[in-house]
């Protein structure tokens, strides 16, 4: 099949009409590899196989006259449903060189419009509910073009409203429409009918006693539950835990089927959602029974099956880049019901190392980085707030998380860092699309030192923020994060996504210090101290704004702006932002043409580290700044629907951005002043300090998660002079000489025009 077209259909209906063409006769799109993939696995000697067909890709569209007739008839019915009652569709088939073209020609005729609306609703109570809710959803009005989709929508909304207002036994077939011809051409009247069931008028039902029963084990329930049901119905709920694992109140907190309330299907769905989100049940089933057929009460019975409480997960990865290889191993123990109230406890131990390779040396002989961390957290499915017990859960599961961690990081011949972090965080949903996260208490204690073999002045002269590694201080602050539309990230639709964070530290300690009569003078390197340690004082806002534009089908365009600023003041006016709080650029979710943490700040170039010995010592040390400005553009599309049991998607992208410093460094020497010129943000230098990369990627989507592979190409690299920044030209001409010259001044660093990125999940 070469081509399928539809002519003489209103532009607003063209795409919908094409959907009625049978898929087996639709030619594949130009970007799809479905057909080539199918041909690769299912042809032999130039002919298609008739047996042992491999389930890869999609077979080519083959002309089938029966499917053409079905498509013609379906398009005609579609136009009739849009009010073109006299529509006629014909199909014209042309075959040339064994390739067929089909053209569906439509004679729509004139559209019919609705003259008058009326209704015939047998139950007064149903009519009252319909009339009161109708303005919020109806699409029907006099003068509208007749549209069967609007009638279907009206019926679905009536069904929804009835199920939300106590009509437990209401069914869709009770709603239908009469289309009545009039004396006027192209005019019809519509009459809505809502009929009663054979047993009598529709009745509203209220919730009686709720019976919640937890199975004795993950294997499910015994054959009979009658003898196990708890007859204690305090608060209108009978709670029976056959597993003896759970406390009553933490579980029943998320049962929204309350005694005496009108039945509302939204509360049923809410109960399903929250019980599953507790992450302690593998199956939830809600049934109803009515002991008295003449009464108006229904009794829910909620049967839940527990899942395994404890688990242990071991993970490992082998990160590698040009010239380095590493290994990271972690072990995570999880208990999903620590105190019998769905409290999630996690304990993780993680360790890793990174080594230089090349020059004939064996892997892991020259290890330059070692990392170790241990962390523990307890997450409770409610907000634990003193003297206040907010009722939340209508839009998402609220959580309170207590966490503590210790991090050890060694940079060989450079520094050792130790960090203790403790925090309390509240997460809750304002709506399904608005998530708040507030950390009222975030305490950090860090201490580290530089190697005795390093000259502090020499380090400062070449990479002065590296001196931040040699500090002993504490941080007491709070954090707040607001996220909008995170629930839509996996959907093909048009929307804006926003994540805004702010991290503030030191103000409370500064106030305590002043009340205590401190004689500190931070501007003259005499900061205030708490418990003998200087404390950090800074503000760090960050914004991630994205626009997701659906382009039809499975195509989507994303534009992203990611920016942040870290500004120290007061007690940290000289000491600056802690090393771990600074920004970086590059990596699989940012500037994908660069390795993570190797871009900037500004026009910074490691060539300024003149000593090869020092460059080797500082090899792999992150390039950081106190400001980030980054933008990404990505076009996503589907390549193959069936690719080894999953969907293969493609992406093309352009990334641009950098990091900078926003304050001059301490001028230990003239060279530091020169570094300031390279790294401090100045609007006039923005164009020459932006890094630009492009590339393409593949996403292997197995429904539950996505394996991602991206290839990034450097276009413009700000570490070079203005005449040499467009490195894409050197990639195709003189790349060998360029790399050799770079290596002379940057060893052990090497230059790569292409960067490969592997990951799980989408980059943004």
Predicted pLDDT of residue 322: 63
Predicted pLDDT of residue 59: 79
CA distances from 364 to 48, 318, 323, 451, 615 (A): 51, 12, 12, 21, 19
Predicted pLDDT of residue 91: 92
Is the domain of 44 the same as that of 164?
A: no
**670-679 and 456-463 helices, crossing angle to 10°:** 30
Predicted pLDDT of residue 758: 86
Is the domain of 616 the same as that of 701?
A: yes
- With pLDDT > 90 as the criterion, what percentage of the chain qualifies? 59
The two beta strands, 43-44 and 47-48, are antiparallel
Is it the case that residue 670 has pLDDT exceeding 50?
A: no
pTM for the whole structure: 0.85
Is it the case that residue 192 has pLDDT exceeding 60?
A: yes
- pLDDT, tens digit (0-9, with 9 covering 90-100), for 301-310: 999 999 999 9
Is the domain of 133 the same as that of 229?
A: no
CA distance 479 to 483: 13
Give 325: exposed, middle or buried? Use CB within 10 Å, 0-12, 13-18, 19+.
middle
Residue 618 lies in a domain: yes
Q: Are 130 and 165 in contact (CB under 8 A)?
A: no
The two beta strands, 297-306 and 206-207, are parallel
Entry field: residues in the chain: 764
Residue 566 lies in a domain: no
CA distance 259 to 256: 9
- pLDDT, tens digit (0-9, with 9 covering 90-100), for 562-617: 999 999 999 998 888 998 899 999 999 999 999 888 998 999 998 888 788 888 88
Residue 431 lies in a domain: no
Is the domain of 639 the same as that of 688?
A: yes
Spatial strand order in the sheet of 175-181: 113-121, 187-194, 175-181
Is it the case that residue 360 has pLDDT exceeding 70?
A: no
| Boundary residue ending a domain (306, 321, 347) | 306
Is the domain of 169 the same as that of 226?
A: no
CA distance 726 to 717: 6
Is the domain of 45 the same as that of 164?
A: no
What is the secondary structure of 636-648 as a DSSP string? EEEEEEEETTEEE
- pLDDT, mean of residues 237-244: 92
CATH code assigned at 49: 3.10.20.310
Residue 268 lies in a domain: yes
Residue 536 lies in a domain: no
Q: Which of 45-59, 232-246, 523-537 has the lowest mean pLDDT?
A: 45-59
At residue 27, φ and ψ (nearest 5 deg) are -70, 150
Is the domain of 641 the same as that of 740?
A: yes
Structural domain for 292, as ranges? 206-306
- pLDDT, tens digit (0-9, with 9 covering 90-100), for 123-135: 999 999 999 999 9
Residue 374 lies in a domain: no
| Boundary residue ending a domain (306, 340, 356) | 306
- pLDDT, mean of residues 263-273: 96
Is the domain of 36 the same as that of 166?
A: no
Q: Are 479 and 503 in contact (CB under 8 A)?
A: yes
Output 359-364 pairs: Cβ under 8 A, ≥24 positions apart. Answer: 363/325, 364/325, 364/327
Residue 175 lies in a domain: yes
Q: Which residue has the higher pLDDT, 361 or 171?
A: 171
Q: Which residue has the higher pLDDT, 307 or 664?
A: 307
Is the domain of 169 the same as that of 269?
A: no
Predicted pLDDT of residue 452: 81
Instruction: Dig out the tokens for 306 from the structure.
Output: 């527990």
Predicted pLDDT of residue 52: 78
Predicted pLDDT of residue 457: 73
Is it the case that residue 498 has pLDDT exceeding 50?
A: yes
At residue 375, φ and ψ (nearest 5 deg) are -145, 155
What is the average pLDDT score of the chain?
89
- H helices of 549-643, where? 612-617
- pLDDT, mean of residues 398-424: 94
Is it the case that residue 227 has pLDDT exceeding 70?
A: no
| Boundary residue ending a domain (38, 72, 107) | 107
Q: Which residue has the higher pLDDT, 323 or 205?
A: 205
Is the domain of 160 the same as that of 247?
A: no
Residue 329 lies in a domain: no
Instruction: Dig out the tokens for 392 from the structure.
Output: 């939340």
Provide the domain count of the chain: 4
Is the domain of 93 the same as that of 121?
A: no
Q: Closest Cα partner for 432 from 399, 397, 396, 400? A: 396
C-alpha distance across the termini of the chain, in Å? 37
Q: Beta-carbon neighbour count of residue 65 at 10 Å?
A: 10
Indicate the SS3 state at residue 194.
Answer: strand
Instruction: Dig out the tokens for 176 from the structure.
Output: 């239908």
Is the domain of 16 the same as that of 42?
A: yes
Strand partners, 406: 374, 420
Predicted pLDDT of residue 668: 40
Predicted pLDDT of residue 139: 94
């Amino acid at each position: 099949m070469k081509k399928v077209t539809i002519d003489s259909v209103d532009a607003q209906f063209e795409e919908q009409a094409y959907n009625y063409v049978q898929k087996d006769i639709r030619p594949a799109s130009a970007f799809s590899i479905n057909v080539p993939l199918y041909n690769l696995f299912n042809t032999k000697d130039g002919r298609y196989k008739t047996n042992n067909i491999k389930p890869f890709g999609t077979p080519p569209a083959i002309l089938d006259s029966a499917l053409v007739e079905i498509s013609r008839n379906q398009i005609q019915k579609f136009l009739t449903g849009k009010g073109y009652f006299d529509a006629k569709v014909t199909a014209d088939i042309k075959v040339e060189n064994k390739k067929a073209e089909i053209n569906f020609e439509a004679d729509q005729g004139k559209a019919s419009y609705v003259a008058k609306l009326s209704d015939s609703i047998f139950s007064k109570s149903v009519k009252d509910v319909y009339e009161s809710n109708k303005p919020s959803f109806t699409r029907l009005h006099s003068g509208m073009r007749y549209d069967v989709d609007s009638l279907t929508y009206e019926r679905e909304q009536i069904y929804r409203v009835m199920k939300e207002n106590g009509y437990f036994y209401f069914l869709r077939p009770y709603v239908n429409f009469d289309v009545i011809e009039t004396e006027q051409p192209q005019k019809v009247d519509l009459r809505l009918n809502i009929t009663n069931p054979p047993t009598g008028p529709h009745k509203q039902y209220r919730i009686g006693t709720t019976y919640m029963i937890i199975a004795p084990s993950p294997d499910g329930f015994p054959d009979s539950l009658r003898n196990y049901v708890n007859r204690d119905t305090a608060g209108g709920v009978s709670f029976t835990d056959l597993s003896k694992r759970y406390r009553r109140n933490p579980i029943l907190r998320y049962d929204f089927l309350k005694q005496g309330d009108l039945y509302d299907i939204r509360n049923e769905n809410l109960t399903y959602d929250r019980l599953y989100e507790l992450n302690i049940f593998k199956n939830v089933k809600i049934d109803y029974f009515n002991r008295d057929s003449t009464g108006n009460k229904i009794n829910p019975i909620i049967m839940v099956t527990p899942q395994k409480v404890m688990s242990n997960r071991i993970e490992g990865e082998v990160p590698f880049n040009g010239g380095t290889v590493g290994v990271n191993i972690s072990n995570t123990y999880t208990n999903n019901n620590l105190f019998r109230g769905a409290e999630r406890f996690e304990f993780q131990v993680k360790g890793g190392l990174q080594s230089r390779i090349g020059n004939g040396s064996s892997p892991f002989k020259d290890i330059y980085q070692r990392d170790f961390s241990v962390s523990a957290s307890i997450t409770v499915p409610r907000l634990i707030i003193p003297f206040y017990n907010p009722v939340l859960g209508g839009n998402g599961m609220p959580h309170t998380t207590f966490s503590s961690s210790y991090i050890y990081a060694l940079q060989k011949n450079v520094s050792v860092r130790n960090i203790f972090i403790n925090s309390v965080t509240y997460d809750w949903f304002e709506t399904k699309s608005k998530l708040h996260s507030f950390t009222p208490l975030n305490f950090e204690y860090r201490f580290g030192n530089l190697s005795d073999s390093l000259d502090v002045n020499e380090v400062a002269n070449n990479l002065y923020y590296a001196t931040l590694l040699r500090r002993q201080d504490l941080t007491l602050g709070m954090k707040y994060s607001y996220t909008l539309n995170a629930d839509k990230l996996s959907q093909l639709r048009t929307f804006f996504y926003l994540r805004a964070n702010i991290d503030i530290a030191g103000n409370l300690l500064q106030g305590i210090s002043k009340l205590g009569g401190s004689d500190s003078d931070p501007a003259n390197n005499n900061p205030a101290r708490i418990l003998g340690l200087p404390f950090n004082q800074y503000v760090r806002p960050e914004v991630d704004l994205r626009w997701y534009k659906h382009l039809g089908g499975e195509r989507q365009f994303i534009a992203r702006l990611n920016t942040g600023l870290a500004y120290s003041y007061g007690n940290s006016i000289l000491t600056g932002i802690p090393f771990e709080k600074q920004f970086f650029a590059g990596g699989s979710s940012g500037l994908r043409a660069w390795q993570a943490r190797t871009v900037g700040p500004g026009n910074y170039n490691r060539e300024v580290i003149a000593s090869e010995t020092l460059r080797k010592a500082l090899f792999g040390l992150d390039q950081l700044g106190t400001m980030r400005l980054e933008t990404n553009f990505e076009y996503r599309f589907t390549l193959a629907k069936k690719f080894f049991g999953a969907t293969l998607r493609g992406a093309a992208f352009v990334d641009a951005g950098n990091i900078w410093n926003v304050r001059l460094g301490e001028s230990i020497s003239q060279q530091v002043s020169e570094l300031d010129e390279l790294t401090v943000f100045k609007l006039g230098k923005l164009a020459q300090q932006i890094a630009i990369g492009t590339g393409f990627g593949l996403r292997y989507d197995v429904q539950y998660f996505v394996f991602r592979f991206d290839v990034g190409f450097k276009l413009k690299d700000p570490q070079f002079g203005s005449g040499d920044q467009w490195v894409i030209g050197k990639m195709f001409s003189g790349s060998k000489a360029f790399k050799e010259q770079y290596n002379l001044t940057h060893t052990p660093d090497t230059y790569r025009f292409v960067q490969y990125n592997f990951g799980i999940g989408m980059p943004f």
